[in-house]
Amino acid sequence: MLTCQRSLFTLPDDEHYLNCAYMGPLMKSVEAAGVEGLRRKVNPRGISSGEFFTGPDALRERFAALINTSPERVALVPAVSYAVAIAANNMRLGRGRNVVLPGEEFPSNVYAWRDQCERDGAELRSVDRPLDVQSVGAAWNTRFLEAIDSQTELVTLTEAHWTDGTLFDLEAIGARAREVGAFYLVDGTQSIGALPFDFQRVAPDLLVCAGYKFLLGPYQMGFAVLGDRLMDGEPFEKTWIGRENSEDFAHLIDYRPGYRPGARRFDVGEHSNLITVPMLDESIRQIMEWGVENIQEYCVSLGGVLAGALDGKGDFTIAPPEERGAHMFGVKVPDPDTVPAIMEELARRKVFVSQRGTSVRISPNVYNTPENMVALAEALIAAVK
């Protein structure tokens, strides 16, 4: 079993950072990669033109290996909203058609579709979280599948809901989307890096993923992974580096109509960042060395410590393990109105988590210790009292 990796991070011993779903901390090796890139930029004389391509392609290969797909499907993007725009730019929603997404979805995966539905006369069909049911995850998945019908143009969702980690059955939902001919978009930002993901099994038309959360990388670096239906689409940004033969700097003004192979046409401009590209490449390398399954197993053990420390100490509710990820889950208290005060008490005790909706969202990772979970439990108990 994977052991605690806190020594690879620079985290204060008297703080309990359980907020990876907000922002993952950088490992020392990732920090070093960024510093080295910064030093090279101080005097760029030694930076060759080939490095505009080799670093990004190495990162493409690394992420492709992590999620079991071809690097030719991977584009480098700065944000989830940018990746979502790739799909939006290549889709038109017919009047009377619909887009299906979960209720309380993260805004980056809502605004583009809300605007497009208004423009094209389509329905934005939000499937709300079931209330007052024994098994929220199972009921939500059922309702989500039932919302997909013959008029559905797009199905889009996160693998683990960002407010409390509720898991959606991506394979079943994808099968239903393909059955009605709908496009299928998955946001893996709150799961990839801590929960196993297989692109070939899930088979989305587009996978989007930011790099600064569970991939433990820098801000403004992420991925768009394209399926066959979008691979030959039209990029909305007309970059020079996405064009065929852009490697030949001596002939860049021989303007080309075609694009570089695979998904590279969708890369954001200036993606060849000598600072952030090596940082994200190093963080994913380390994650793969640990093994994503082992990371999830380690988080399971931390969750067990929390459950034991809370047992019999208050009316706290945590969804059953089969309905959520161990790396991100919500703790509910009897009175939701007390959550802001609870958050203040946790921060006073240097326990750092997030409030999302009516949940106290906990998101541990390999740098956390059993002592962090005990501190969290003690803070929750004291705050409720």
Residue-range domains of the chain with CATH: 6-18+292-384 (3.90.1150.10), 37-288 (3.40.640.10)
Distances (CA, A) of 122 to 83, 113, 256: 21, 10, 37
Q: Do 190 and 181 meet the contact criterion of CB atoms below 8 Å apart?
A: no
Please say if the pLDDT value at position 313 is more than 90: no
List pLDDT tens digits, range 277-292.
999 999 999 999 999 9
Which tens digit of pLDDT belongs to each residue from 76-121? 999 999 999 999 999 999 999 999 999 999 999 999 999 999 999 9
| 3-state DSSP assignment of residue 270 | coil
**How much is the pLDDT for 368?**
98
* Joined tokens for residue 4: 């605690």
Q: What is the 3-state secondary structure (H, E, C) of 2-62?
A: CCCCHHHECCCCCCEECECCCCCCCEHHHHHHHHHHHHHHHCHHHCCCCHHHHHHHHHHHH
Global pTM value? 0.96
Q: What average pLDDT does range 110-135 have in this prediction?
A: 94
What whole-number distance in Å separates Cα of residue 358 and Cα of residue 202? 30
Provide the terminal-to-terminal Cα distance of the chain, rounded to the nearest Å: 36
Please report which confidence band the pLDDT of residue 336 belongs to, taking 50, 70 and 90 as the band edges: confident
CA dihedral 186, 107, 232, 60 (to 10 degrees): -70
